Chains A and B, each alone.
Chain A
Amino acid sequence: MAAIEFKNVTKKFGNHVVIENINLKIKDGSFTVLVGPSGCGKTTLLRMIAGIGPQTSGQVLIDGNDVTEIAPGKRGVAMVFQNYAIYPTMNVRDNIEFGLKNNKIPKEERDILVKEASEKVGLEEYLDRKPSTLSGGQRQRVALARAMVKKPSVFLMDEPLSNLDAKLRVQMRVELIELHKKLQTTFVYVTHDQVEAMSMADTVILMNNGFIQQIAAPEEIYRNPANLFTARFIGSPAMNIVELNDGIRLGFRPERGILSDEADPKADFSVEGQVVTREMLGRETTYSVRDPQGRTYMVTGLDDPYKVDDKVYLNVSLKHIYFFGKDEQRIYEEDAQQYQACLEALRRGL
């Protein structure tokens, strides 16, 4: 168990600054997911914790100790790589055991630990197999067992599920959540997939261009995005963003838009439009609606009353509307003056 802290950390590759002066705390025992588009610096952060891509300046602390000078193998961290990084010439047992051997754990103890770890991931029958004879999911489990067996205080995972097929990914997601519950150690998980972030994390750290956009619980980051980037990145289909006057933008989630045959006089935001596409997904239906100005809105709902080309009205009530200022930051209700300006802009219409 260990908390992780970044203090004024900067990372450069040559002259290219990837991360600039980041300060960040990751809570002990949390399942923290670093999420963001590719190139945002999330993997760079993870590699700094592991010690395989050290920071250019600043400090990384694990459990309050500066680990800058400590070798990767002595930090008490384990990592699962995107391509699994299983040693191809060793069989499953040797793969799992390699770290223990290097740490000079006696044979009897090793046997017990390997047995334990392989049982946890359901690999006990495959211990003598070579990795090349295993399926993608099984290799993933070998990588997990190899990380687990060392009983690390921090688990690092770099897009571990991205090479699995969709069904297996969903299954492994559940297993990882259960594993975290069982082990109670700090998990730091990197992904570009916001669904993975939302489904597994207890804390989401959203990054873009080397900067942290928001740190919050999944439900908080979804319901209360701090800025336009977060609002657009989290959620699928993405939040609808409409430009008002003075650089003010309005946003609402697709499931908060209500389609009707006639304009709703009580709605705070209402536009007339036409259904352009309809995707029936079984549980819900996603419509895209285009207004006369050519703006497209995504709307999802459990009901499925409309067809393509139908004329509809899209209504949203104020409590589901978010406002963003010129600087792309969220304008909250508490900021009375600015919020009034937003309401004014909304009233004046599109």
Chain B
Amino acid sequence: MYKLSQKVWAVAGTILKAILIFVFVFPFLWMVSVSLQTDMEISSSPITLIPAVPQWINFAAAWSKGPFLLYLKNSLTIIVSVIAMQMVIMVPAAYAFAKCDFKGKNLMFGLVLIAFMTPGQITFLPIYQMMSEWEVMDTLLPQIVPFMTNAFGIFLLRQYFMQVPDELIEAAKLDNAGSLKIVYKLMLPMAKPAMSTVVLFSFVSHWNDYFWPLVMTQTTNVRTLPIGIAMLKNTEGITNWNIIMAGNMILVMPILVVYVFCSKSIIRSFAYSGIK
């Protein structure tokens, strides 16, 4: 009896997992399929699942429909600057919150947590106004400056730093290491899993971000890839889904490449950000 119910659960579990995978993977595969279909195939009924002849030309078409090289450059500039700035600001902040005593520490950490929980949809208006007063709307700054620090990252790194025994820091002090050296030579290498989690989250969320660049940009000059691809929709009267999907393929390609090369550490870091 016991064995039977165990088997039933195992089968049910497998079926549920299969459904879950299908729900997640099917839209992705369909995107791949549509990006390779002809205009006729996308509007045919019943729907085409596998294109007769893969239309690689869709990719070239998508790429030529806008200044995608510029968009790509903007996306990369924003991501690299954001992550670099976050490293500079977030790591010492997390260290200070974890291991130093100073007045107002708890209050300040509370503020960080509030920032962590405040969605961008609330802060975009004041930030927009501020940026427009600074007259930097035609630069990439409105997409970089607000993300120079990362409350989630500070929180995660702080939790990690708190687990590091004080003796290690004391030993480093006795080895005549200054605070910066302790932070970057000692603490940061130890916090590698946490750090890669933060960098990956930052990368994925900024690479895919649609809302913020949409409200913060008015000219083509400063737009990013996701906005550029969304704009494919408006270039002609009818919606060319195959071209848009080809654009989306271009967008997700870097993330796929990153995933293929470091899937292990991604899984590890996602697991890490959960319960540890």
Asked whether A126 is an interface residue with its Cβ less than 8 Å from the other chain, the reply is no
Residues of B with C-beta under 8 A to A51: 173-174
Residues of B with C-beta under 8 A to A102: 175-178, 181
Extra inter-chain contacts (6) besides given A51-B174, A71-B173, A88-B190, CB under 8 Å: A71-B176, A72-B176, A89-B190, A98-B185, A102-B175, A102-B178
Residues of B with C-beta under 8 A to A77: 174
Cα–Cα distance between A98 and B175 once the two chains are bound (Å):
7
Pick the contact of B168 from A74, A87, A99 — CB < 8 Å? Answer: A87
Closest Cβ of chain A to B218, distance in Å, is 46
Report, as a range, how many residues of chain B touch the other chain: 10 to 19
Pick the contact of B170 from A72, A87, A88, A89 — CB < 8 Å? Answer: A72
Pick the contact of A99 from B170, B175, B185, B190 — CB < 8 Å? Answer: B175
Residues of A with C-beta under 8 A to B177: 73, 98-99, 102
- Cβ of A52 and Cβ of B189 under 8 Å apart? no
- Cβ of A83 and Cβ of B176 under 8 Å apart? no
- Cβ of B176 and Cβ of A79 under 8 Å apart? no
Which residues of B from 136 to 190 have beta carbons under 8 Å from A? Answer: 165, 167-168, 170-178, 181, 185-186, 189-190
Closest Cβ of chain A to B169, distance in Å, is 9
Closest Cβ of chain A to B172, distance in Å, is 7
Task: Provide 21 A-B residue pairs closer than 8 Å at the C-beta atoms, listed in order of the A residue.
Answer: A52-B170, A52-B174, A71-B176, A72-B174, A73-B176, A77-B174, A79-B174, A81-B170, A81-B171, A85-B165, A85-B167, A85-B170, A87-B168, A87-B171, A87-B186, A89-B186, A89-B189, A89-B192, A98-B175, A102-B175, A146-B171
Asked whether A50 is an interface residue with its Cβ less than 8 Å from the other chain, the reply is yes
Closest Cβ of chain A to B129, distance in Å, is 45
Q: Do most interface residues of chain A lie in helix, strand or loop, or is the interface mixed?
A: loop
Cα–Cα distance between A102 and B31 once the two chains are bound (Å):
55
Asked whether A163 is an interface residue with its Cβ less than 8 Å from the other chain, the reply is no
- Cβ of B171 and Cβ of A79 under 8 Å apart? yes
How many CB-defined contacts (below 8 Å) exist between A and B?
Answer: 62
Asked whether A78 is an interface residue with its Cβ less than 8 Å from the other chain, the reply is yes
- Interface residues of chain A, those whose CB is within 8 Å of chain B, are 50-52, 71-74, 77-79, 81-83, 85, 87-90, 98-99, 102-103, 146, 150
Cα–Cα distance between A85 and B165 once the two chains are bound (Å):
8
Cα–Cα distance between A189 and B114 once the two chains are bound (Å):
47
- Cβ of B176 and Cβ of A103 under 8 Å apart? yes
Pick the contact of A73 from B165, B167, B168, B174 — CB < 8 Å? Answer: B174
Pick the contact of B173 from A52, A88, A150 — CB < 8 Å? Answer: A52
Which residue in chain A gives the minimum CB-CB distance to B173? A72
Residues of A with C-beta under 8 A to B174: 50-52, 72-73, 77-79, 99
Cα–Cα distance between A146 and B165 once the two chains are bound (Å):
18
Residues of B with C-beta under 8 A to A85: 165, 167-168, 170-171
- Cβ of B165 and Cβ of A83 under 8 Å apart? yes
Cα–Cα distance between A78 and B174 once the two chains are bound (Å):
7
Cα–Cα distance between A51 and B171 once the two chains are bound (Å):
11
Cα–Cα distance between A79 and B173 once the two chains are bound (Å):
11
Residues of A with C-beta under 8 A to B185: 98
Cα–Cα distance between A83 and B181 once the two chains are bound (Å):
22
Which residue in chain A gives the minimum CB-CB distance to B177? A102
